[in-house]
């Protein structure tokens, strides 16, 4: 049975993260893209979201990793130097957190993802390598002040291990933002049909609540094919049914396409062909023609 242990929001990022990974990093220093290379890369591909270093940060500043499992998977909103896909253990993803500042309003709160403790659970997402305090301050405002999330640390397991990196598939410590029942936006568990209905009928300053869920599901389908997230994928199915039943154009809820994020750049990943989505194609009877 998934449950919370009652993490309470600390006043700031845990103290031990101030000295986290000062000399540890995934890949070589050459992976950090300077501002001149960024300009050239942007000219070559305007749709890519490059790994941009913060020019205001110096080499002596702390490096840490942030784990994203919700909107951070497709819209980080901050400067980072690397993004890798992987998972953490001991938690499952649930749409139990309310939201009134981004994907809903006070009158019609939206629902966004949080993590619920489950000793057998695994949650897939991506980790961002950041330097300095700028991104942490941004996330503190976005996730804690406005979103009602608290911080905790967890072990992150990269999906792709590179033989020439310090980690080679071993776990690294990441900072995670988690909503708990103690925060004022908490909505908790409900039948999936009710959750899907609420998401289909919520919109906030950042866009429609449906976009949040559908882009997260798209991240899972495209970046980690073959991995099943039953809670997320069942909500995706129910939500699409609700949208189609109400004859709501999908384009009206999806908003502008976000920039593409370059993930797992530390290894050339060659993915085998996947037939995951063929099950969604309806069966069609073929008629033979005498020609």
Catalytic residue flag (residue 143): yes
Within-domain flag for 45: no
Could you tell me which residues are beta bridge partners of residue 156?
A: 88, 172
Whether the predicted model's global pTM rises above the 0.85 cut: no
Q: Which residue is catalytic, options 12, 106, 143, 230?
A: 143
Within-domain flag for 209: yes
Tell me what the pLDDT averaged over the chain comes to.
76
| Tens digits of residue pLDDT in 1-23 | 443 334 434 334 444 433 333 33
Within-domain flag for 130: yes
Within-domain flag for 108: yes
Within-domain flag for 51: no
User: What pairing do the DSSP bridges indicate for beta strands 149-158 and 207-208?
Assistant: unpaired
Let me know: does 173 contact 156? Beta carbons within 8 Å: yes
Within-domain flag for 153: yes
Residue 114, domain CATH: 3.10.490.10
The boundaries of the domain holding residue 114 are: 63-254
| Tens digits of residue pLDDT in 140-162 | 888 888 888 988 999 999 987 64
Within-domain flag for 50: no
Residue 211 reports pLDDT greater than 90: yes
Give the percent of the chain with pLDDT over 90: 50
Looking at residue 132, its pLDDT comes to 82
Within-domain flag for 182: yes
Q: What is the mean pLDDT of residues 196-213?
A: 96
Let me know: does 63 contact 54? Beta carbons within 8 Å: no
CA angle 210, 213, 218 (to 5 degrees): 115
Confidence of residue 135 (pLDDT cuts 50, 70, 90): confident
User: What's the number of domains the chain is made of?
Assistant: 1
């Amino acid at each position: 049975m998934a449950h919370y242990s009652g993490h309470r929001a600390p006043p700031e990022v845990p103290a031990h993260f101030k000295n986290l990974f000062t000399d540890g990093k995934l890949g070589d220093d050459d992976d950090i893209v300077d501002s001149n290379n960024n300009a050239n890369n942007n000219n070559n591909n305007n749709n890519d979201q490059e790994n941009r270093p913060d020019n205001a940060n110096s080499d002596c500043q702390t490096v840490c990793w942030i784990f994203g499992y919700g909107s951070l998977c497709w819209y980080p909103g901050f400067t980072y130097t690397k993004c890798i896909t992987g998972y953490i253990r001991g938690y499952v993803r649930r749409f139990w957190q309310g939201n009134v500042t981004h994907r809903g309003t006070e009158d019609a709160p939206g629902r966004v993802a949080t993590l619920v403790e489950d000793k057998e659970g695994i949650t897939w997402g991506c980790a961002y390598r950041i330097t300095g305090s700028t991104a942490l301050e941004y996330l503190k405002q976005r996730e804690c002040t406005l979103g009602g999330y608290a911080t905790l640390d967890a072990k992150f397991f990269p999906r792709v291990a590179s033989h020439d990196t310090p980690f080679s598939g071993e776990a690294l410590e990441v900072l995670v933002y988690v909503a708990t029942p103690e925060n004022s936006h908490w909505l908790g568990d409900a039948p999936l049909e009710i959750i899907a209905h609420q998401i289909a009928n919520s919109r906030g300053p950042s866009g429609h609540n449906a976009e949040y869920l559908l882009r997260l599901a798209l991240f899972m389908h495209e970046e980690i094919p073959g991995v099943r997230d039953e809670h997320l994928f069942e909500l995706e199915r129910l939500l699409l049914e609700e949208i189609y039943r109400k004859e709501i154009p999908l384009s009206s809820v999806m908003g502008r396409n976000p920039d593409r994020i370059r993930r797992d750049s530390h290894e050339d990943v060659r993915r085998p062909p996947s037939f995951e989505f063929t099950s969604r194609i309806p069966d069609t009877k073929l008629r033979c023609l005498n020609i």
